[in-house]
Chain A
Amino acid sequence: MSGRGENPVAPAIRVTDLTVAYGDKTVLWDIDLEIPKGSMVAVVGPNGAGKTTLIKSIQGLLPRVAGVISIHGKSYEKQRKEVSYVPQRGSVDWDFPTSVVDTVKMGSYGDLGWIRRPGRKEHEKALGALEKVDMLEFAQRQISQLSGGQQQRVFLARALVQSASVYLLDEPFQGVDATTEKAIVTILKELVGGGKTVLAVHHDLNTVSEYYERIAILNVGLVASGRVEDVFNSENLMKAYGGKTSFFPERKAAKRAV
């Protein structure tokens, strides 16, 4: 179960003192976060809370003011292959002339390194991943001819091809149909069951308890993090959303009890 560079005691992701600023604007302030191995974690917070920034900073894609990131106890640079990233769906040009299976194959580019081209093995792997997300029949389609949910499945398949141990997903359920959402959750839970770690930016507070074991509530600073039943409460949500959300778990639970 333990992958290439895993340190059995270190957490999957450890973020220490992370501070990130764009120009004169602090976007993340002194974040300390530990994600245990084999857990499924939601990152929630209002728009502009810095969720995307957090996900990108974990991968060293943004300059930091301060902070240290480690993946399985080692620096990200050494562990790049352990981490797989699913960007927000809107961040790419879906008119790009590429087929579904070619897009999924991109997941193997990191392993191939510079210049080497994907071959038979990578093709098989891509088909396998497509089968897992139930998209095999669309393998030769151009990606613009897919629905939102199908596009997200392609992204997920591409991440599966990377055979990483840590998955970072940015709003995987945005603009996705209910069936796909369920399918993606099932796959993510399977990954977690196999000892992988999943960190996903999540928007729908109603499904947090159903999908995730752990949660990190974010708004520039880290409001709370821990097990969902411990920290997912109205007090913390108030702190993060500042009363801008009408969702409070207790109230809902109370209603159900009546």
Chain B
Amino acid sequence: MSPHQFDIQLVAIIVAASCSIPGAFLVLRRMSMMTDAISHSILLGIILAFFLVKDLSSPILIIGAAASGVLAISLIEAVNRSRLVKKDASIGIVFPFLFSVAVILLSKYARNVHIDTHSVLLGEIAFAPFDRFILSGMDMGPKSAYVMGSILLLNLFFISFFYKELKVSTFDESFASSIGFRPRLIHYLLMAVVSFTCVGAFDAVGSILVIALIVIPPCCAYLLTDSLSRMIFLSVVFGISAAISGFWVANWLDVNIAGSMAFVCGVFFLVVFLLAPERGLFGIMREKRRQRMDFAEASLLVSLYNQEKGEAVKNHPDSRGMFQSTDFASKVVGFLKGKGEIAVTGGGLFLTEKGRERARMTLEGR
């Protein structure tokens, strides 16, 4: 691993970790698509701040950007609150507008500056190591690692100071305000934190793939745990792993790093979505099949039991006809025979004592 590669991964890890932390709350608050709005809107803030200070490395740019993220959210909420436009459409008209204005300003007046529409959209983490932090002549590593590191610290402070406030106002907003917490305040603080994070991540991964790093790791974690703190921890783990493996995939195929990181996030989610122990698709399907089979078995047993007692089911005199297909019927019969709950003699079905017992229990509703 060259020092260059090391630096890129360092930045990628810090970016991924800082994105996953507020991401967990965005996912739980059903605000994932707000990330889209924030990450696009901050460009306008960056550019306006740049016109103001004429210096690309000024911290004013970061503040301007974060402010425009929060502003975009307020604008969306104002449009939505007016009851004239639905929530999703409010998001959909606000940020493309702010973004378009920014892109036009950028391509018209800032051509010669080192931000072009391409890197805005796609990010250029590969260039991160070239911008060094030099302290009294000593090379201290890539600058973006420091910028992003501060944002990561900010996120960590925010989450640990306001953990219980965030938790309760996300879970139950009206209860939170009834005990004197201020859910609206918390909401805007969170939006500010997300804006800062997007600003930092923007340079590295661009405005669209920030969403991948903010939304996907928490979603993976959401399917794996029932505890909020573990969910946040797992999202960070997923985020970091996706960043590293994304980097190596990109390195191997010689393609865009940010895109590859997003794609790897998607692969992680796919794996979790299919294989998560309780909530994975396969698990759910197995459980559904088991329930259906259970139900079918019980129905067959009960029907046989009723026949024994002379209360034959008129529609299905041979009981097997109650199932949609003969295949399924013979499967059910096979299972029951295996469990020793029915016996098959001369094509007819008979309850064993064990089967009779289960039928009785089913009927009594146990």
CB distance from B226 to the nearest CB of A (A): 4
For B227, what are the chain A residues with a Cβ–Cβ distance below 8 Å?
Answer: 97-99, 102
For B180, what are the chain A residues with a Cβ–Cβ distance below 8 Å?
Answer: 80, 110
Q: Could you tell me if B175 and A97 are in contact, using CB atoms closer than 8 angstroms?
A: no
Q: A96-B170, A115-B162 are in contact. Are A59 and B178 (CB under 8 A)?
A: yes
For B164, what are the chain A residues with a Cβ–Cβ distance below 8 Å?
Answer: 106, 109, 112, 117-118
Q: For chain A residues 76-122, which have a beta carbon within 8 Å of chain B?
A: 80, 83, 85, 87, 91-93, 96-99, 102-103, 106, 109-110, 112, 114-115, 117-118
For B230, what are the chain A residues with a Cβ–Cβ distance below 8 Å?
Answer: 97
For A102, what are the chain B residues with a Cβ–Cβ distance below 8 Å?
Answer: 227-228
Q: Could you tell me if B174 and A114 are in contact, using CB atoms closer than 8 angstroms?
A: no
Partner of A103 from the list B171, B173, B231 (CB cut-off 8 Å) is B171
For B181, what are the chain A residues with a Cβ–Cβ distance below 8 Å?
Answer: 109-110, 114
B161, B163, B227 — most chain A CB neighbours (10 Å): B227
Give the docked Cα–Cα distance between A117 and B175 (Å): 18
Interface size class for chain B?
20 to 34
Q: A97-B225, A109-B164 are in contact. Are A91 and B172 (CB under 8 A)?
A: yes
Give the docked Cα–Cα distance between A102 and B228 (Å): 10
The total of chain A residues at the interface (CB under 8 A) is 27
- Chain A residue, CB-CB nearest to B170: A96
A109, A118, A158 — most chain B CB neighbours (10 Å): A109
For B231, what are the chain A residues with a Cβ–Cβ distance below 8 Å?
Answer: 97
Q: A87-B174, A106-B172, A118-B164 are in contact. Are A96 and B28 (CB under 8 A)?
A: yes
- Chain B residue, CB-CB nearest to A110: B179
For A106, what are the chain B residues with a Cβ–Cβ distance below 8 Å?
Answer: 164, 167-168, 171-172, 175
CB distance from A127 to the nearest CB of B (A): 17
Q: Could you tell me if B226 and A142 are in contact, using CB atoms closer than 8 angstroms?
A: yes
For A112, what are the chain B residues with a Cβ–Cβ distance below 8 Å?
Answer: 164
Give the docked Cα–Cα distance between A84 and B102 (Å): 49
- Chain A residue, CB-CB nearest to B182: A114
Q: Could you tell me if B172 and A92 are in contact, using CB atoms closer than 8 angstroms?
A: yes
Q: For chain A residues 41-72, which have a beta carbon within 8 Å of chain B?
A: 56, 59, 61
CB distance from B125 to the nearest CB of A (A): 31
For A85, what are the chain B residues with a Cβ–Cβ distance below 8 Å?
Answer: 174-175, 178-179
CB distance from B23 to the nearest CB of A (A): 14
Tell yes or no: B177 within 8 A of A by CB. Answer: yes
A85, A118, A162 — most chain B CB neighbours (10 Å): A85
Chain B's interface: helix, strand, loop or mixed, by majority? helix
For A61, what are the chain B residues with a Cβ–Cβ distance below 8 Å?
Answer: 174, 177-178
Give the docked Cα–Cα distance between A163 and B226 (Å): 28
- Chain A residue, CB-CB nearest to B232: A97
Q: Could you tell me if B28 and A83 are in contact, using CB atoms closer than 8 angstroms?
A: no
Give the docked Cα–Cα distance between A162 and B163 (Å): 19
- Chain B residue, CB-CB nearest to A118: B164
For A117, what are the chain B residues with a Cβ–Cβ distance below 8 Å?
Answer: 163-164
For B161, what are the chain A residues with a Cβ–Cβ distance below 8 Å?
Answer: 115
Partner of A96 from the list B171, B174, B177, B178 (CB cut-off 8 Å) is B171
Q: A112-B164, A117-B163 are in contact. Are A93 and B28 (CB under 8 A)?
A: yes
Tell yes or no: B165 within 8 A of A by CB. Answer: yes
Give the docked Cα–Cα distance between A213 and B168 (Å): 34
Q: A117-B163, A142-B226 are in contact. Are A93 and B171 (CB under 8 A)?
A: yes
Q: For chain A residues 145-196, which have a beta carbon within 8 Å of chain B?
A: 158, 162
Q: Could you tell me if B226 and A87 are in contact, using CB atoms closer than 8 angstroms?
A: no
Q: Could you tell me if B162 and A87 are in contact, using CB atoms closer than 8 angstroms?
A: no
CB distance from A199 to the nearest CB of B (A): 14
Q: For chain B residues 257-272, which have a beta carbon within 8 Å of chain A?
A: none
Give the docked Cα–Cα distance between A91 and B179 (Å): 16
For A56, what are the chain B residues with a Cβ–Cβ distance below 8 Å?
Answer: 174
CB distance from B268 to the nearest CB of A (A): 18
Give the docked Cα–Cα distance between A240 and B122 (Å): 62
For B225, what are the chain A residues with a Cβ–Cβ distance below 8 Å?
Answer: 97
Tell yes or no: B222 within 8 A of A by CB. Answer: yes
Q: A97-B225, A109-B168 are in contact. Are A91 and B174 (CB under 8 A)?
A: yes
C-beta contact mask, B211-253 vs A, less than 8 Å → 1, else 0? 0000000000010011110110000000000000000000000
Q: What are 11 A-B contacts defined by CB distance under 8 Å?
A: A56-B174, A61-B174, A80-B178, A87-B172, A87-B178, A97-B226, A99-B226, A106-B164, A114-B162, A114-B181, A115-B161
A-B pairs, top 8 by smallest CB distance, nearest first, are: A110-B179, A142-B226, A85-B178, A92-B172, A96-B171, A97-B228, A87-B174, A106-B168
Identify 9 new A-B residue pairs, CB closer than 8 A, beyond the known A85-B179, A97-B225, A114-B181. Answer: A59-B178, A61-B174, A61-B177, A85-B175, A106-B164, A106-B168, A106-B171, A106-B175, A158-B175
**B positions within 8 Å CB-CB of A:** 28, 161-165, 167-168, 170-175, 177-181, 222, 225-228, 230-231
